Amino acid sequence: MEENGKPRMSRRTQIILVLLLVIFVFLSRGLFLGFPADKVFDEVHYVRAANAYVVGQEDPNWEHPPLGKMLIASGILIFGDNPWGWRFFPYLFGCLTVFLVFWLARTLGLGMGGALFAAFLFSWDFLSFVMGRMAMLDVFAAAFITLSLLFAARYYKNHNKWDFLFTIVACGLAISSKWSALYPSIFLGLFFLALPPFARHLRGSVLRFLTNGLLVLLCFIIVIGGIYALIYSYYFSFGHSTQDWVKLHTDAWAWHTRPNIDHPYASQWWSWPLMTKGVWYYYTTTPEGITQGILAIGNPVLWYLGGLAIVVLILGLTFWIYDKNRFVPFFILFGFLANYIPWIISSKGGFIFYMLPAIPFYALGMTYFINRTWRYRFWRGLSWVFVILTFLAFALFYPLLSGLPVYQETFLRALWSGSFFGF
């Protein structure tokens, strides 16, 4: 951690810890990446679509934008039509997101120690780990959303218009991966209304607000629209017209806004932070009683205490709003709510993995409080207990996140109780 802007660890120690983070993230997530050898859960849809790109056919998965499937297809072109090929780019983007969290923590002024805390905590989260090893679209959208929020934080620091532009570009790439990224993009549009990149020289708050708002809106529409349309170049190469493209999106919108999701693993927004229902991507038991499974669920230590940190930030709003460093708690709260509030508004439900883009802010929220209390021995001790428990939970559940075989009795003990995961 850092205190009064001065590093508490030597340069050599910092380099060693960063290297350990790099080795741990790429190694822990890369081990057993090829297992299971079969497609699991929604990999069936997205790998089939990716193979269509590889062989020059039309994308059969019309419900989602192409970018994520194109990235999966790139892995297949490099490694072949096998598990490593399907999952290589999700694995790469999942690992890179850890370092985006590290960079975001540094940008927010949490120091080198705080950045390492946040990155390690995020790397030990079950859901981010599992989603970073599956050929699904969410990991790409989450990575680009995190990148957009990083550039937005950088813009606050220096008011550089390039960071404003890069924020929009990242939003365009996120939306081109999955439509759910549209929600945090709207929040970022509001962010730039409050911190205007344009018309700051104009006199009159109303005129300045309206001019800036119009220019921000135009930039979002032009840049995001341009990126999104460009991603569909492959679709237009089959001779489709603009009218076909509009019809495709009308059908996709109807599919996404259907009244409810009929799926045994579907759940409501309020249950996700509580982790009352996980998603089994893979589950099998042999006659000998050996179980193999991949469970999409959050790390309970990080999610419960990180969730508590978010609640404390909300309840303490009237206190920290007058702090000279109020941007840090504001941005952590903003990042979490931008990725969570939209699902509250939606009534059709979804899956717990929709929380993926919000998880970095659990880690950043906890890191913020660790930073604020680090000078006190008691709280510093509790911080280390929290970090150690988060890692131990990850180590305990690692077989159930990577599909390693475990005996049935050990498996049930590791789960603690069936009700915890809402069987």
pTM over 0.85: yes
The radius of gyration computed from the CA coordinates of the chain, to the nearest angstrom, equals 22
The model's pLDDT over 222-252, given as tens digits with 9 standing for 90+, comes to: 999 999 999 999 999 999 999 999 999 999 9
Average pLDDT over residues 39-60: 94
* pLDDT value at residue 98: 97
CA 62 to mean position of chain CA atoms: 23
What percentage of the chain carries pLDDT values higher than 90? 67
Specify the pLDDT at position 2: 52
What does the pLDDT average to over 103-109? 95
**Residue for token pair 């930039």:** 219
Residue-wise pLDDT for 247-259, tens only, equals 999 999 988 877 6
- So what's the pLDDT on residue 264? 77
Confidence of residue 423 (pLDDT cuts 50, 70, 90): very low
Flag whether pLDDT at 374 surpasses 90.
no
Decide: 140 and 93 in contact? Cβ < 8 Å: yes
Cα separation, 155 vs 168, in Å, equals: 12
% of the chain residues with pLDDT over 70: 93
Place of tokens 């989603």: 131
Calculate mean pLDDT across residues 366-380.
Answer: 90
Question: Tokens at residue 147, please?
Answer: 């990148």
Does position 44 have pLDDT exceeding 60, yes or no? Answer: yes
What torsion, rounded to 10 degrees, do the Cα atoms 321, 324, 328, 331 define?
50
Q: Which helix (H) or strand (E) covers residue 282, if one does? A: strand 279-285
Mean pLDDT of 121-150: 97
- pLDDT: is 411 or 35 the higher one? 35
Residue 322: band (very low, low, confident or very high) from pLDDT cuts 50, 70, 90: confident
CB 231 within 8 A of CB 176: yes
Report the b/e string of 258-293 with b at 16+ CB within 10 A: eeeeeeebebebeebbbbbbbbbbbeeeeeeeebbb
**pLDDT higher than 80, residue 95:** yes
Q: What would the mean pLDDT of 63-85 be, rounded to a whole number? A: 96
- What does the pLDDT look like over 182-196, one tens digit per residue? 999 999 999 999 888
Q: Which residues contact 177 (CB under 8 A, 6 or more apart)?
A: 65, 67, 68, 137, 140, 141, 144
- Is the pLDDT score of 30 beyond 70? yes
Summarised one tens digit per residue, pLDDT across range 265-305 is 888 889 899 998 888 898 888 777 788 889 999 999 999 99
* Local structure of residue 252 (DSSP, 8 states): H
Q: What is the mean pLDDT of residues 55-76?
A: 95
**Weakest-pLDDT range from 67-71, 343-347, 377-381, 417-421:** 417-421
Residue 418 binned pLDDT confidence (cut-offs 50, 70, 90): very low
**Sheet arrangement for strand 279-285:** 279-285, 290-296, 406-407
Residue type for 337, please? L
Question: Residue 345 corresponds to which tokens in the numbers above?
Answer: 């508004």
Average pLDDT, the chain: 89
Helix H, strand E, coil C: the string for 354-365 is HHHHHHHHHHHH
Query: Does residue 421 have a pLDDT over 50?
Result: no
Sort 52 into a burial class: Cβ within 10 Å, 0-12 / 13-18 / 19+. middle
Task: Tell me the two tokens of residue 289.
Answer: 């009683």
Residues 322-342, mean pLDDT to the nearest whole number:
91
Alpha-carbon gap, residue 113 to 11, rounded angstroms: 11
